[in-house]
Structure 1
Amino acid sequence: MNKMRPSKERYYLNIAKQVAERSTCFRNKGGAIIVKNDVILATGYIGAPRKTKDCFERENCLRDALKIPHGRNYEICRSVHAEMNCIINAARSGISILDGDLYLYCRDRNGKEMDSFPCFICKKMIINAGLKRVICSTKEKGI
């Protein structure tokens, strides 16, 4: 019996997909993990800052209410992006993520996989955090 093992990239993207299920955003479900030397160092998902109400608790999306299109004005949002939360969670735990790999997964509110490329703000955080690679799921290739 020859069982196919998923590649490491597919394996870690699938873990990021599971992390995304914790997201509290009406628009997207996004998850991120940071891996170094085959060890998961941190996880993060799209959600409101700690000790604040998320969109589910408020029963609305500020961006939807203001008709802000996807890809614009991210500063007008209650949520923190998955990759930001992942980097923040590592820092809060005192874990060095220098030279780690970031895996990102995202799907829309209808369950359709999306390009999970970091926004401009997240790109700057990723660079300054010293992450080596960013591996993203895409709507064309999936995981």
Structure 2
Amino acid sequence: VAKRSTCLRRQVGAILVKDKRILATGYNGAPRGLRHCEEVGCLREDGSIPSGERHELCRGLHAEQNAIIQAACHGIQIAGATLYCTNKPCVICSKMIINAGIAKIYYEEGYNDPLAAQMLAEAGIELERIKR
């Protein structure tokens, strides 16, 4: 799923699963119908902004956000689902994950975001790193 990403900096994929069924997928990239970063460039890259900072300057959505949106667009209930993601969720995605009722997150890589980790723990959402 991450290979579909159009981000110049990081290719991230997310899969929502419940009862051994894939409910929705998402990858990071520009909103539907807009030009991709590959075409217009990246403000964060141009400004040498470190990964995980100044998300408001990014024209793209995160993989987790796109997976949640896809489920909503298709009327798929994701409460109690498990999220598999190539990256540990940021604080913005963590808030969406909490409100969507996602129960557990497996991720491969991650940047240190103490607030995201604290919020997920407070919400009782399990967070587990997996290694290939």
Determine if the TM-score, normalized by the shorter chain, exceeds 0.5: yes
Q: Which residue of 1 aligns with 2:89?
A: 118
Determine what percentage of the aligned residue pairs are the same residue: 50
Which letter maps to 1:61? C
Q: Alpha-carbon deviation of 1:142?
A: 3.3
Distance 2:131 2:42 in 1: 26
Q: Which residue of 2 aligns with 1:10?
A: none
Per the normalisation by structure 1, the TM-score is: 0.76
Distance 1:20 1:47 in 2: 10
Equivalent position to 1:100, from 81, 103, 118: 81
Distance 2:27 2:38 in 1: 14
Q: Aligned Cα RMSD in Å?
A: 1.4
Q: Which residue of 1 aligns with 2:12?
A: 30
**Residues 21, 121 of structure 1: alpha-carbon distance in 2 compared, 3 angstrom cutoff:** same
Q: Alpha-carbon deviation of 1:138?
A: 2.9
**Residues 141, 34 of structure 1: alpha-carbon distance in 2 compared, 3 angstrom cutoff:** closer
| Larger Cα-atom Rg | 1
1:43 aligns with 2:52: no
Distance 1:141 1:47 in 2: 24
Q: Between the two structures, name the one with larger relative contact order (CA 8 Å, sep ≥ 6).
A: 1
Distance 1:82 1:44 in 2: 5
Deviation sequence 1:9-34 (CA, Å, 0-9, x none): xxxxxxxxxx0000000000000000
Question: Which secondary structure state, in structure 1, belongs to the residue aligned with residue 93 of structure 2?
Answer: helix
1:20 aligns with 2:2: yes
Q: Alpha-carbon deviation of 1:71?
A: 1.3
Contact 2:13/2:25 (8 A) holds in 1? yes
Q: Which residue of 1 aligns with 2:102?
A: 131
Question: Which secondary structure state, in structure 1, belongs to the residue aligned with residue 4 of structure 2?
Answer: coil
Per the normalisation by structure 2, the TM-score is: 0.82
Counting only pairs closer than 5 Å after superposition, residues 14-93 of structure 1 correspond to structure 2 as: 19-58=1-40, 60-93=41-74
How many equivalent pairs are there? 114
Question: Which secondary structure state, in structure 2, belongs to the residue aligned with residue 29 of structure 1?
Answer: coil
Distance 1:77 1:71 in 2: 11
